[in-house]
Amino acid sequence: MKIGDLVKYRGMEDSRAGLVVGLLEKKCWRTHILGKAVDWDKIEPEPHAVVLIKGKKLTFPLTDLDPMDER
């Protein structure tokens, strides 16, 4: 995935397309896997994308985004 790609957020069926405007690394605590007790020292940063959707910049882990066909 790169800046300028069109993507959809995998977590929502009715999500709109978004445009990747930035890439960064940050930590993401997944409670469904790691539990409720957060310990930031136990995890490493993972790649995230800053996505422009309906005029708002939102940040999503790359693993939660699906690239869209630009046809």
**pLDDT value of position 69:** 77
The 10s digit of each residue's pLDDT in 27-45 is 999 999 999 999 999 999 9
Decide if 1 is inside a domain.
no
Q: How far apart are CA 11 and CA 7, in angstroms?
A: 12
Asked whether residue 58 is assigned to any structural domain, the reply reads yes
Q: What is the pLDDT of residue 34?
A: 92
- How far is residue 58's CA from residue 18's CA, in Å, rounded to a whole number? 9
- For the stretch 51-69, pLDDT in tens is 999 899 999 999 999 998 7
Return the H-helix or E-strand segment holding 9.
strand 6-9
pLDDT score of 70: 66
pLDDT at 15: 72
Q: What's the total number of domains in the chain?
A: 1
Q: What is the pTM of this model?
A: 0.82
11 is written with which tokens? 């977590």
**Domain limits at 24?**
6-67
Q: What is d(CA 57, CA 51) in angstroms, rounded to the nearest whole number?
A: 5
